[in-house]
A = this chain, B = another copy of it.
Amino acid sequence: MVAVDTVLFAVADGRLRTYLVELQHGQARGKWAFPGGLVKVGELLDRAARRQLHESTGLSGTYLEQLFTFGDPSRDPRAHVVSVAYMALIRDPNLLHSGNGKSGPGRWHEVAKMPPLAYDHADMAVYALKRLKSKLEYSNIAYALLPKEFTFAELEELYATVLGRPIDRRNFRRRIMAMGLLRRLSHARRGAHRPASLYSFASQSLRFIEML
């Protein structure tokens, strides 16, 4: 039997968060797990991941990427389930309808403070975070975690949050600009202080940075 499990990330309030479902049945009852479930016969893996994610959260059209496949013989003592792990990204954790997952109620957790995870989902979490960090460094993947329009400060905060280290503002701006992934918009965001000009990603699909 084949299952898919999806590590869904979002950033809010300066924290990286992931969506977990509390299991109600089985030997792992009371532990938390990434949303997922069995693949139907004839169903494409990506489609199964999207379907499960939609059933758990109401989301559709998210960024989605396959991570790794876990043997996972421990999930159920009698059935042998192979689990294909995915990573999904959304801009805003409030976009989903929480709590209507089949397997149980779900909610967001800070990645830094996750509860005990079922099966081998702790390994998935480590793997997903590593993948997200490295893709931030050499792709425009941040487009999937930010709204269409954002300020440079917001982009910088996203990087600092996910990478877990401070960013030098001037060097960061220079490097990002050199990558040529952003478009500067004509308008600005007005707030309590000096207005910040807005940017958007030139492409809303994954691009890798060419370093030649």
Contact = CB atoms under 8 A, between A and B. Distances in A.
Interface of A: 2, 39, 41-46, 66, 68-69, 71, 73, 80, 82, 84
A85 to B, nearest CB: 9
A69 B71 contact: no
A82 B82 contact: yes
Contacts of A69: 45, 66, 69, 84
Q: Of residues A42, A46, A71, which shows the largest number of chain B Cβ atoms within 10 Å of its Cβ?
A: A71
15 contacts: A2-B2, A2-B82, A42-B73, A42-B80, A43-B80, A44-B71, A44-B73, A45-B69, A45-B71, A45-B82, A46-B71, A66-B68, A66-B69, A69-B69, A82-B84
Nearest to A82: B2
Nearest to A70: B45
A80 B39 CA distance: 10
Given A66-B68, A68-B66, A80 B46 contact: no
A79 to B, nearest CB: 8
A100 to B, nearest CB: 27
Ordered nearest first, which 7 A-B pairs have the shortest CB separation?
A69-B69, A45-B71, A44-B71, A41-B80, A2-B82, A42-B80, A69-B84
A68 B66 CA distance: 8
